[in-house]
Structure 1
Amino acid sequence: MTFINSAITGSPQPAFAARVASVGGSPVRDILAVTARPEVVNFAGGLPAPGLFDSEGVAAAFHAVLTGAARQALQYSTTEGEPGLRAALADRTSVRGLATDADDLLVTTGSQQALSLLATALLDAGDTVLVESPCYLAALQVFGFSGARIVPVPGDADGIDPDALEELVVGERPKLLYTVPTFQNPTGRTLPADRRAAVARVAARHGLWIVEDDPYGELRFEGERVPWISSYEDAGDRSVLLGSFSKVMAPGLRLGWLRAPAALRRACAVAKQAADLHTPTVNQLAAARYLADRDLDGHVARVAAAYRERRDAMLAGLPDALPEGSDWNRPEGGMFLWARLPEAYDTTALLPRVVEQDVAYVPGAPFYAGAPDRSTMRLCFVTHTPEEIAEGLRRLGTALD
């Protein structure tokens, strides 16, 4: 057995699990800790704009619950989630094109927990997981902790290539594909409908689980809504859809959910019992009350309108901020924009110099499961006002000059 030294007692301690050493921390969280000073214009975090929270509505919902149903709100709840909240979520999902009953859903402590539960229920050490390239960083962490072998699927500006996906499925025999097909984190891109249908067909032919993460889909600024992959018939019995209130209501509520076939949902419920028994009752009841008393769709529309202005402010400032030869995309919604500098630039190496100018981004390299493109960066455009964005891009241009 390997031991580590104890500075307190002088005697050796048993070593940590190997997975702790093999899976690193989140660079996003590390950057946020370094750039927490109020003078920093922070394009690094995936933080919704706090000034746009409906704090009055959320406070009223909590007040109503704690004055009218305190005994229930402060008590243990079922692992699956409060029936009233699950019914409301099922209605919202059905209206958006995927017929859903309350019993199809499991409420989770943020959609991040849903990913962890799925990894527990589906993956053994050594199993293969397919991901987008680049991929949501915290998903890479979850799959890494499970001991999975993570393989990126080639793609382009529109997302994963279904032909490349099928070739990998045949050759690698993966357990699942993880995807954020709408306003993807980190790139902001959206997978077109024809590719979604093709992905569903690949899953049907080869017995592949599709884990479809949709935290940003309601934040559309322009263009037509694209159906969930889970709504295609070929994906019906092999897809999991994840949702969250973090980006449309408030991340501090830590409320997410997963929609999955019955057997997998039950397995996730067992995993959740071992993790935290249930998601906080008071938060669930307050969210259900908010949905009953307030117009969440109207609130989301107002937030999306503000986010569109902020996206446009960032797009307007990037030509002067980034070096000649850079390129970037124009997302139709969500929170993120993906930029690529000329090949000679390494955005990880440049970051300390950029932070000295009181501005920050996230280097692109940590988002890659395979060989990274070190000239890339993720920019979050929603946290700051258009004026602050313009100033932040001015500072970024100074640092990169």
Structure 2
Amino acid sequence: MHERSSVGELADRLRQDLNRYSPGGKLPSSRVLVERFRVSPVTVSRALAQLAAEGLVVTRPGAGAFRAAARSVAAAAGDTSWQEVALSADGAADVVPRTVDASGVLTTLAAPPPGVIEFNGGYLHPSLQPERAMAAALSRAGRRPGAWGRPPIEGLPELREWFARGIGGAMTAADVLISAGGQTALTTALRALAPPGAPVLVESPTYPGMLAIARAAGLRPVPVPVDADGVKPPLLADAFRATGARVLVCQPLFQNPTGAVLAPARRPEVLRIARDAGAFIIEDDFVRRLVHEDAGPLPRPLAADDPDGVVVHVGSLTKATSPSFRVSALAAHGPVLERLRAIQVVDTFFVPRPLQEAALELVGSPAWPRHLRAISTELKTRRDAMTTALRLELPAFALPHIPSGGYHLWLRLPDGTGGTAQAFGSGGEQSLTAAALRAGVAITPGRPYFSAEPPAAHIRLSFAAVAGTGEIAEGVRRLRAAWEELV
């Protein structure tokens, strides 16, 4: 059994047993609990820590764990209805909205109920994360001289240099800022480059978290369609002319959700179009380290081919490690870097130094290339397992592009015919999402990936957040049952 579930189960058992002890009564020792429940000492320690956090037990070093005193009766809830007026007063005049829609982000962050297969996850399953390597890196980092002091505002020079080498071209450590994860870096970049009320060009479809950032900043996302070769240059040029936008946000490599890679012939065109428009490109290079085993040589980041400072590059370690390993880089040439730096300092001060030191330890260790090779092999295996299962169980679902990197597939649902017309018109994706959840599998509807009306109904399925290929096969079978329920 996985360690996390063992901790939860033991905490439940101990919680049930607390009534056997009077307040202040001592619980059995850790050694007794290890033998009684046949779990590890770490599991016992974590379960007791969980109960202590809930205020149910008190732990005393060297003495043991004791049942906490009875809690006092909570005070009666106050009247918070006045907040409805305060939060909405003059809201119509706000350039930057105070109400933020986080639903598109929460879809991939919220853990599904127990027993539900997670096809909606946005991160590697714990079995794929380099937990031992990260733990060792964090331990070594904590012992580095000055590791707990204040870091340079821009980030540790060695870590900035590592990211700069990964970008290539003329990028140097002086062009890089260390940020707290890709979402934070994207937020900083959009705030720096576009004033509230301005249009910002986005790929269609695109990452819902980026759309949420733009709207929360008071920006107007304008869609530019993509195909299997990435954003379409003629439509991009038209969008710049029609809107006067000064920013394009794109994912040239393994785009989310389509998995597309910007074609070699389009790369210089996209750069030229943006430069002619006097606009910046925010390059979200979020899954470069999740390449599949059968992929050919990867194209360089757009920033590597941009000496003129058109591209603001965002790269991150999070997707290839853990959702809690929030270390990323913002890279840019020219005066814009100072604006990025100023906004980041005001918003977050700096990324905690121990985490930066741990990142350096991790990427400099022999475990890092081994981890990347292992997930490259495993992601291809999982991708192939999911595509095979979908073709067998749900052949009506169109899979126009099979990516050679990333962690998900983008499927177009059948056009409405007969009894399915209503199901897969407006709200049809939500109907399938709800039916799938009832069947025991969590999926992501396609609508949140579009900034305007979508051309068809889609779903996104992740193959990285599940335990393995067996769970993928079972999840697709459950999805077929949900589909049959609707048709």
TM-score, normalising length from structure 2?
0.76
Q: How much has 1:31 moved relative to structure 2?
A: 6.5
Q: Distance in 2 between matches of 1:374 and 1:113?
A: 31
369 and 278 in structure 1: CA distance in 2 versus 1, 3 angstrom threshold? same
Counterpart in the other structure of 1:3: none
State yes or no: 1:284 paired with 2:356: yes
Counterpart in the other structure of 2:150: 76
Q: How much has 1:215 moved relative to structure 2?
A: 1.1
Counterpart in the other structure of 2:304: 231
- Flag the structure with larger Rg: 2
Pick aligned residue for 2:104 from 17, 23, 27 = 27
Q: Distance in 1 between matches of 2:431 and 2:411?
A: 16
Q: Distance in 2 between matches of 1:364 and 1:11?
A: 37
Tell me if the contact between 2:433 and 2:442 (Cα under 8 Å) persists in the aligned partners: yes
Counterpart in the other structure of 1:164: 235
Q: Distance in 2 between matches of 1:278 and 1:48?
A: 26
State yes or no: 1:391 paired with 2:483: no
Counterpart in the other structure of 2:284: 213
297 and 79 in structure 1: CA distance in 2 versus 1, 3 angstrom threshold? same
Tell me if the contact between 1:363 and 1:374 (Cα under 8 Å) persists in the aligned partners: no
For 1:77, what is the secondary structure of its paired residue? coil
For 2:313, what is the secondary structure of its paired residue? strand
Pick aligned residue for 1:87 from 161, 169, 175 = 161
Alignment-mate amino acid for residue 239 of structure 1: V
Unaligned runs of 5+ in 2: 1-76, 417-423
30 and 331 in structure 1: CA distance in 2 versus 1, 3 angstrom threshold? closer
Tell me if the contact between 1:181 and 1:214 (Cα under 8 Å) persists in the aligned partners: yes
For 1:252, what is the secondary structure of its paired residue? coil
341 and 10 in structure 1: CA distance in 2 versus 1, 3 angstrom threshold? closer
307 and 264 in structure 1: CA distance in 2 versus 1, 3 angstrom threshold? same
Pick aligned residue for 2:320 from 248, 251, 255 = 248
State yes or no: 1:46 paired with 2:119: no
Counterpart in the other structure of 2:334: 262
Tell me if the contact between 1:183 and 1:336 (Cα under 8 Å) persists in the aligned partners: no
CA RMSD, aligned part only?
Answer: 2.1
The within-5 A match list for 1:61-210 is 61-69=137-145, 72-94=146-168, 98-210=169-281
Alignment-mate amino acid for residue 381 of structure 1: F
Alignment-mate amino acid for residue 454 of structure 2: P
Tell me if the contact between 1:365 and 1:373 (Cα under 8 Å) persists in the aligned partners: no
Counterpart in the other structure of 2:16: none
Q: Distance in 1 between matches of 2:235 and 2:142?
A: 52
112 and 32 in structure 1: CA distance in 2 versus 1, 3 angstrom threshold? closer
Select between 191-200 and 307-316 the one with higher mean Cα deviation. Answer: 191-200
Q: Distance in 2 between matches of 1:231 and 1:297?
A: 22
Tell me if the contact between 1:327 and 1:341 (Cα under 8 Å) persists in the aligned partners: no
Alignment-mate amino acid for residue 365 of structure 1: R
Q: How much has 1:158 moved relative to structure 2?
A: 2.2
The CA deviation string for residues 105-136 of structure 1, in whole angstroms up to 9 with x for no partner, is: 00000011111111221111221100000011
Q: Distance in 2 between matches of 1:219 and 1:238?
A: 26
Q: How much has 1:262 moved relative to structure 2?
A: 3.4
Unaligned runs of 5+ in 1: 1-5
Q: How much has 1:377 moved relative to structure 2?
A: 0.6
Select between 108-117 and 80-89 the one with higher mean Cα deviation. Answer: 80-89
Q: Which has the higher contact order (CA 8 A, sep 6+)?
A: 1
The CA deviation string for residues 309-351 of structure 1, in whole angstroms up to 9 with x for no partner, is: 0000000001233262634421111112100011222212221
Counterpart in the other structure of 2:20: none
Tell me if the contact between 1:73 and 1:281 (Cα under 8 Å) persists in the aligned partners: yes
Tell me if the contact between 2:200 and 2:219 (Cα under 8 Å) persists in the aligned partners: yes
Tell me if the contact between 2:164 and 2:176 (Cα under 8 Å) persists in the aligned partners: yes
The percentage of counterpart residues that share the same residue type is 32
Alignment-mate amino acid for residue 63 of structure 1: S
For 2:439, what is the secondary structure of its paired residue? coil
Alignment-mate amino acid for residue 177 of structure 2: L
The CA deviation string for residues 340-393 of structure 1, in whole angstroms up to 9 with x for no partner, is: 011222212221111011101100001101112451011111122111100100
Tell me if the contact between 1:118 and 1:268 (Cα under 8 Å) persists in the aligned partners: yes
Alignment-mate amino acid for residue 163 of structure 1: P
For 1:68, what is the secondary structure of its paired residue? coil
For 2:324, what is the secondary structure of its paired residue? helix
For 2:383, what is the secondary structure of its paired residue? helix
Select between 389-398 and 349-358 the one with higher mean Cα deviation. Answer: 349-358
Counterpart in the other structure of 1:317: 389
For 1:370, what is the secondary structure of its paired residue? coil
63 and 149 in structure 1: CA distance in 2 versus 1, 3 angstrom threshold? same
Q: Distance in 2 between matches of 1:9 and 1:41?
A: 38
Alignment-mate amino acid for residue 350 of structure 2: H
Q: Distance in 1 between matches of 2:457 and 2:286?
A: 27
The CA deviation string for residues 161-203 of structure 1, in whole angstroms up to 9 with x for no partner, is: 1011111112211111000111111111111111112101112
For 1:154, what is the secondary structure of its paired residue? strand
For 2:373, what is the secondary structure of its paired residue? helix
Q: How much has 1:304 moved relative to structure 2?
A: 1.0
The CA deviation string for residues 263-290 of structure 1, in whole angstroms up to 9 with x for no partner, is: 2121111111111100111000111122
Tell me if the contact between 1:183 and 1:216 (Cα under 8 Å) persists in the aligned partners: yes
For 2:460, what is the secondary structure of its paired residue? strand
Equivalent residues, number: 389
The CA deviation string for residues 55-91 of structure 1, in whole angstroms up to 9 with x for no partner, is: 222111111122233xx22222222111221122223
Q: How much has 1:150 moved relative to structure 2?
A: 1.1
Alignment-mate amino acid for residue 430 of structure 2: T
Q: Distance in 2 between matches of 1:82 and 1:8?
A: 48
Select between 205-214 and 316-325 the one with higher mean Cα deviation. Answer: 316-325
